[in-house]
């Protein structure tokens, strides 16, 4: 095993420049979901990333198959069982406040910057080259494999994973595998993933919009209406939010703009929610006793800055996975309704029905409607499962770290594929940069991941 690991690691080192160049090139493709086109279910940018990866896989000698723009499959081998790695090419919108262009793949101080660098383009490239090395060594007769190799590129992980749902209607589930889209040492469980809307019919000549995705802490929110600008400034000052809000006049309407700090929706406590800032201000500013005022009061009483759901009576937690977390990701006025989109990650021992019941008990007083958008039940593997043990062993061999398997709030492709768990790229203690401005992956981490992934693929491809 030691000789094989040495062979694999040397091959990765020889591919260093190719790995870096492919990562930079992929980051340069703005693969944010956009309007669907023929053969491009999630828009041109996402499809461009898929085409790029198809070309790359063919250059690396894989057989490829495009599943109608939803997913790309790369294969090697003819065994009945396989090892499957699944990465995603779509990214969340870049947001504001970057110090470098978000789609240039800028290399600075040993890091590659750009939207998708860590989530999930860099790790996907690292894993692809890892699989390529295993394929190459097998073709050269230096190692033998008992399972085929399969790499799947998804295109809609950030917005519901419709890509994998489509793919697995046409392809078989893996024998075993991983997705390089979370944390090391290995993810044995993922909290339940819930997205729902709270909406209410409102009157009034106003506009409100904040956030871009349910799974991002919103870093901006804007409100336009008829109100006293000086009073708004006084309210903002009284609440100590001068650095978080600005007020001005535009086209005959008064405008408030709040600024937060973006973060991943599974870690809302690491960001600052611009929507919550806005509703805090509106609590004292908006005086008209109407349905919108009631909605504002509901928000500040039952959500506010609480990211653990206690104000909604859903502060569930368990020993396996910890606390429920809540992120208000978006707010919109749609026709005559105010619509709030909320993302919840709930503990593995909690039932969705309990969450829904508690929320509905509260919102009925305010005549607010509840609409379920997505509910993905929790995922959990025991520590002695073959997949968990194998990936944990590979990680420990590289790092010497005894950190135990984790349960996370983030949702990955593992939920939609059987026999798959999330594995890296973040190490214990890493700065969380996914979904944030100036997202990056260090070149050292990129290469380390490639080595870990290659060794893991080899180990999983051996039955003994």
Identify the CATH number of the domain in which residue 152 sits. Answer: 3.40.630.10
pLDDT, position 411: 80
Rounded-to-integer distance, Cα 442 and Cα 431, Å? 12
Give the model confidence (pLDDT) of 1-41 as tens digits.
789 999 999 999 999 999 999 999 999 999 999 999 999 99
- The answer to whether 127 touches 179, Cβ cutoff 8 Å, is no
* Local structure of 408: helix, strand or coil: strand
Average pLDDT of the chain is 96
The closest of 74, 69, 70 to 56, measured between CA atoms, is 74
Give the model confidence (pLDDT) of 145-166 as tens digits.
999 999 999 999 998 899 999 9
Give the model confidence (pLDDT) of 323-354 as tens digits.
999 999 999 999 999 999 999 999 999 999 99
> Are residue 96 and residue 201 in the same domain, yes or no?
no
Span 444-454, average pLDDT? 98
> Are residue 344 and residue 201 in the same domain, yes or no?
yes
Span 308-323, average pLDDT? 96
Rounded-to-integer distance, Cα 114 and Cα 67, Å? 27
> Are residue 184 and residue 204 in the same domain, yes or no?
no
* List 90, 94, 158, 212, catalytic entry: 90
Q: Is the pLDDT of residue 173 over 90?
A: yes
Rounded-to-integer distance, Cα 84 and Cα 363, Å? 44
> Are residue 308 and residue 237 in the same domain, yes or no?
yes
Q: How many CB atoms lie within 10 A of CB 403?
A: 16
Tell me the pLDDT band of 264, cut-offs 50, 70 and 90: confident
Q: What percent of the chain stands above pLDDT 90?
A: 91
Span 165-185, average pLDDT? 97
Tell me the pLDDT band of 464, cut-offs 50, 70 and 90: low
Span 45-72, average pLDDT? 98
| Annotated catalytic residue 90 | yes
Give the model confidence (pLDDT) of 78-124 as tens digits.
999 999 999 999 999 998 899 999 999 999 999 999 999 999 999 99
- Token duo for residue 142: 């230096």
Domain edge (last residue) among 376, 409, 437: 376
> Are residue 203 and residue 134 in the same domain, yes or no?
no
Q: How many CB atoms lie within 10 A of CB 438?
A: 16
* Local structure of 375: helix, strand or coil: strand
- The answer to whether 180 touches 453, Cβ cutoff 8 Å, is yes
Domain edge (last residue) among 359, 376, 393: 376
What's the Cα-to-Cα distance from 113 to each of 41, 98, 105, 404, rounded to whole Å?
Answer: 27, 10, 5, 30
> Are residue 289 and residue 268 in the same domain, yes or no?
yes
Residue 200 sits in a domain whose CATH number is 3.30.70.360
Residue by residue, DSSP assigns 189-230 as: EE-EEEEEEEEEE--SS-EEEE-S-TTB---EEEEEES--HH
> Are residue 149 and residue 197 in the same domain, yes or no?
no
* List 157, 183, 190, 197, catalytic entry: 157
Beta strand segments in 124-202, E: 148-154, 176-179, 182-183, 187-190, 192-201
Report the side by side order of strands in the sheet with 406-408: 379-380, 187-190, 406-408
φ, ψ dihedrals at 202, nearest 5°: -135, 160
> Are residue 187 and residue 248 in the same domain, yes or no?
no
Tell me which range, 205-219, 285-299, 304-318, is most confidently predicted by mean pLDDT: 304-318
* Local structure of 7: helix, strand or coil: helix
pLDDT, position 1: 73
pLDDT, position 14: 98
pLDDT, position 454: 98
- Token duo for residue 285: 């500013």
Domain edge (last residue) among 376, 408, 424: 376
What's the Cα-to-Cα distance from 352 to each of 62, 75, 289, 462, rounded to whole Å?
Answer: 41, 37, 34, 38
> Are residue 438 and residue 366 in the same domain, yes or no?
no
> Are residue 368 and residue 402 in the same domain, yes or no?
no
Span 281-286, average pLDDT? 94
Domain extent at residue 149: 2-191+379-460
> Are residue 95 and residue 161 in the same domain, yes or no?
yes
Domain count for the chain, please give it. 2
The residues facing 193 across adjacent strands are 345, 376
Rounded-to-integer distance, Cα 314 and Cα 192, Å? 13
> Are residue 60 and residue 29 in the same domain, yes or no?
yes
- Token duo for residue 195: 């997205």
pTM exceeds cut of 0.75:
yes
Tell me the pLDDT band of 288, cut-offs 50, 70 and 90: confident
pLDDT, position 95: 87
């Amino acid at each position: 095993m030691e000789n094989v690991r040495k062979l694999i690691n040397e091959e990765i080192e020889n591919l260093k420049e190719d790995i870096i160049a492919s990562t930079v090139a992929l980051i340069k493709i703005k693969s944010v979901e956009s309007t669907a086109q023929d053969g491009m279910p999630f828009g041109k940018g996402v499809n461009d990333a898929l085409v790029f990866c198809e070309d790359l896989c063919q250059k690396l000698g894989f057989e490829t198959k495009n599943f109608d723009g939803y997913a790309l499959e790369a294969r090697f081998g003819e065994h009945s069982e396989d090892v499957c790695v699944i990465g995603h090419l779509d990214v969340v919108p870049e947001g504001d406040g970057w110090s470098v262009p978000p789609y240039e793949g800028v290399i600075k101080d040993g890091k590659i910057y750009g939207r998708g660098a860590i989530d999930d383009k860099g790790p996907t490239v690292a894993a692809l080259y890892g699989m390529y090395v295993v394929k190459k060594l097998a073709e050269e007769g230096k190692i033998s494999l008992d399972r085929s190799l399969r790499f799947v590129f998804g295109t809609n992980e950030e917005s519901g994973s419709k890509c994998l749902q489509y793919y697995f209607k046409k392809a078989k589930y893996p024998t075993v595998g991983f997705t390089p889209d979370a944390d090391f040492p290995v993810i044995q469980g993922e909290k339940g993933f819930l997205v729902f809307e709270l909406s209410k019919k409102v009157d009034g000549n106003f506009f409100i919009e904040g956030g871009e995705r349910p799974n991002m802490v919103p870093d901006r929110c804007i409100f336009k209406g008829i109100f006293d600008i000086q009073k708004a400034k006084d309210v903002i000052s009284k609440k100590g939010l001068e650095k978080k809000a600005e007020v001005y006049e535009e086209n005959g309407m008064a405008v408030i703009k709040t600024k937060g700090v973006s973060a991943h929706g599974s870690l809302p406590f690491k960001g600052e929610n611009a929507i919550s800032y806005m509703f805090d201000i509106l609590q004292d500013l908006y005086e008209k006793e109407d349905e919108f005022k009631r909605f504002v009061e509901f928000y500040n009483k039952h959500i506010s800055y609480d990211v653990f759901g206690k104000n909604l009576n859903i502060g569930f937690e368990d020993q396996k996975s910890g606390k429920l977390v809540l992120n208000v990701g978006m707010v919109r006025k749609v026709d005559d309704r105010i619509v709030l989109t909320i993302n919840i990650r709930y503990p593995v021992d909690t039932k969705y029905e309990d969450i829904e019941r508690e929320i509905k008990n509260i919102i009925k007083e305010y005549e607010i409607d509840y609409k379920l958008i997505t509910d993905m039940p929790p995922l959990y593997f025991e520590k002695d499962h073959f997949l968990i043990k194998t990936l944990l062993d590979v990680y420990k061999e590289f790092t010497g770290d005894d950190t135990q398997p984790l349960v996370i709030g983030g949702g990955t492709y593992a939920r939609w594929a059987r026999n798959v768990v999330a594995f890296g790229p973040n190490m214990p203690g890493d700065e969380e940069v996914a979904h944030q401005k100036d997202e990056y992956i260090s070149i050292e981490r990129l290469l380390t991941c490639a080595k870990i992934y290659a060794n893991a693929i080899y180990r999983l491809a051996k039955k003994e």
